[in-house]
Structure 1
Amino acid sequence: MQLNTYLVANFRIMQTAFLPYRSSQVHYCWFGTGQKLILCLHGYGESAESFQFLGKYIGADYTLIAIDFPFHGKTEWNEGLQFSVADLIAIVQALHLKHCDGTQRITLLGYSMGGRVALQLLQSLSTKIEKTVLLAPDGLKVNFWYWLATQTYIGNRLFAFTMKHPGWFFYLLQTGSKLKLINQSILKFTRYYINDTTVRRLLYERWTCMRAIRPNLTSIKKLIRAHALPIRLLYGKYDRIIRHERGEIFRKGIESFCTLHIIQTGHQVLQEKQVNEIIQLIES
């Protein structure tokens, strides 16, 4: 195991390591040695280090583990464009055993794409979950274009072609913007992610690799009710990418277990300036 350590602002140690898995090396970070375990799941294009600031504020009774997903951060993923639910569970269970004794229940903290991963873990490991905190989470609504690009053969081939030859797609975006069919936030967001050859390649690899992570919301809501599992949702009021209305719809039927909070920000909910709200949801 490769290991590096460095000091964060308040002299607590953040440690990083690689977990061998099959022919890959999964990179992750952790803080603390407390009995309460928080598993942190980052957003698209981010990494485990997105949660670094929490180490300055989280209580001493917590252990915080953050994973780099395939094709993100420093993870060396050598299993092709395959990342199954079984892979996800095996990695989480290995880290659970390594840093705890495998018996502690886990608090899931997922941001954006990591919210979808958290929902999948909630569905698959419900008896091991203490609480789920979702920050502007993906996964509460099936995006048609994501479904088409990752769940259908023809759509995935078109996706691959477009990432190599994006001209026609740029034209389509511009036309949709002129006709007011696409809002400016989504237009800017999309342009950012397809305006560079390397960024487009990573988009294809990341989306395709994560395609098996498809939580079933009906099953999840049944598990929430059956096990009385707390769910905390946090959204940005001005988020045009993932709207808080999705959370309101998800809450229907599980209001006793699921709370929804809206703060004065956009999609970037996972920031140090929001740390008080985040920690309050973890501890509530």
Structure 2
Amino acid sequence: MGYLHIPQLGQVHYHEYGTGSKPLLAFHGYGMTGKQFHVLEQSVLPEYHVYGFDHFFHGGSALKDWSEQQIIQGMPKALVRNYVEEWFKLHGRQRFSVLGYSIGANLALILVEEYADLIDEVILMAPDGLFVYKGFHILTHKTLGRYLFRTVTKSKWIAPSLLKTLKRVGFIDESLYKIAWSEMDTEQKRLDVYYTLNLIKRLKPDTQKVAQLINQHNIKCRLIFGRHDNLFPKREAQPFINTLNNPEVHEVDLGHWLVTADLDKYLVKFKV
């Protein structure tokens, strides 16, 4: 474990694990920590030494001197580069790979924009950032959506009622309902959701540029989707996939809750 002290942001906590020698900078999904990928012990960890970063409002990472207004305005995309620059100060400038699951994929993709000449592999799991997810966009960018999001955050009863309605009309499935409810059953958890989604709302990769760089630098690219994922399904990412020269694409018989021992068992079959 360690910390990066990032100018203009604060303290970023990271976890180290894996028995491999190649560095892998990893970014987890909502409600987890940088330890999330520890379950990939047969497929990923023998090859890589993972540096799993905690998102802000998760684990041991903490913003420094940010007002609520700044958080709601969102983190400037340019600051993502500072993660790697500070990591280089501790571990030396070197080649590395990136891994991102769900909302963590945004940071991984932005690093491809910045460091394509140093990246060996990109691993994306149920990735956000390859297309605009309308639900998050409405909640963080549209006036009515922002108002409703703030109102739900402050209310003890609106959140459960809203989630039940979304499940009933089929907007979210049972697995997403359980995940969302587990992260919104207290006021602090609701605030963490509100702050997290607002903080990252400007961290949107340029997917056209990312694809060009992956092709130009012959970066190995693995994309893994859950067949039953209604949040970030493969079909929505297909336009991006079609622009890549030689992607390795998997659709696993899982939902959005993808980073599991079952995924590890699946991926190990494809190890060379």
Question: Is the partner of 1:194 in helix, strand or coil?
Answer: coil
| 1:90 aligns to 2:82 (yes or no) | yes
Partner AA of 2:246 in structure 1: F
**Cα distance in 1 for residues equivalent to 2:93 and 2:113:** 18
* Alignment match, 2:258: 269
State the match for 1:127 in structure 2: 117
Measure, in 1, the Cα distance between the counterparts of 2:130 and 2:101: 12
Counterpart in the other structure of 2:54: 68
**Residue 242 of structure 2 corresponds to residue 252 of structure 1:** yes
**Cα root mean square deviation, aligned:** 2.9
The answer to which structure, 1 or 2, has the higher relative contact order (CA under 8 A, 6+ apart) is 2
Question: Which amino acid letter does the alignment assign opposite residue 2 of structure 2?
Answer: A
Instruction: Supply the AA of the counterpart residue of 1:26.
Output: V
Could you tell me which amino acid in structure 1 is paired with residue 133 of structure 2?
Answer: N
Q: Which moved more, 1:167-176 or 1:157-166?
A: 167-176
**1:192 offset after TM fit, Å?**
3.9
Identity %: 24
TM-score by length of 2: 0.83
State the 1:20 CA deviation: 2.0
1:30 matched residue in structure 2: 16
Larger radius of gyration: 1
Confirm or deny: 8 A CA contact 1:107 1:129 kept in the other structure: yes
Q: 1:71 to 1:26 in 2, by over 3 A?
A: same
Aligned to 2:196: 206
The TM-score with structure 1 as length reference comes to: 0.80
- The secondary structure found in structure 1 opposite 2:131 is coil
SS of the equivalent of 1:239 reads coil
Gaps of 5+ in 1: 1-15
Determine the structure 2 residue equivalent to 1:6: none
Instruction: Tell me which moved more, 169-178 or 41-50.
Output: 169-178
Unpaired runs of 5+ in structure 2?
A: none
Task: Establish whether residue 238 from structure 1 lines up as the match of residue 224 from structure 2.
Answer: no
- Give the drift of 1:75: 0.8
Q: Quick check: 2:25–2:51 contact (8 Å CA) kept in 1? A: yes
- Corresponding letter in the other structure for 2:239: I
Q: CA, structure 1 residues 237+90, in 2 after alignment: closer, same or farther (shift >3 Å)? A: same
Equivalent residue for 1:217?
207
User: Is 2:131 the counterpart of 1:141?
Assistant: yes
CA separation of 1:239 and 1:57: change in aligned 2, threshold 3 A: closer
Deviation at 1:70, TM superposition (A): 0.9
Q: In structure 2, what is the Cα distance between the partners aligned to 1:235 and 1:263?
A: 6
Matches within 5 A, 1:138-217: 138-152=128-142, 155-165=145-155, 167=157, 171=161, 174-175=164-165, 178=168, 180-185=169-174, 186-217=176-207
C-alpha distance in 2 between matches for 1:234 and 1:273: 13
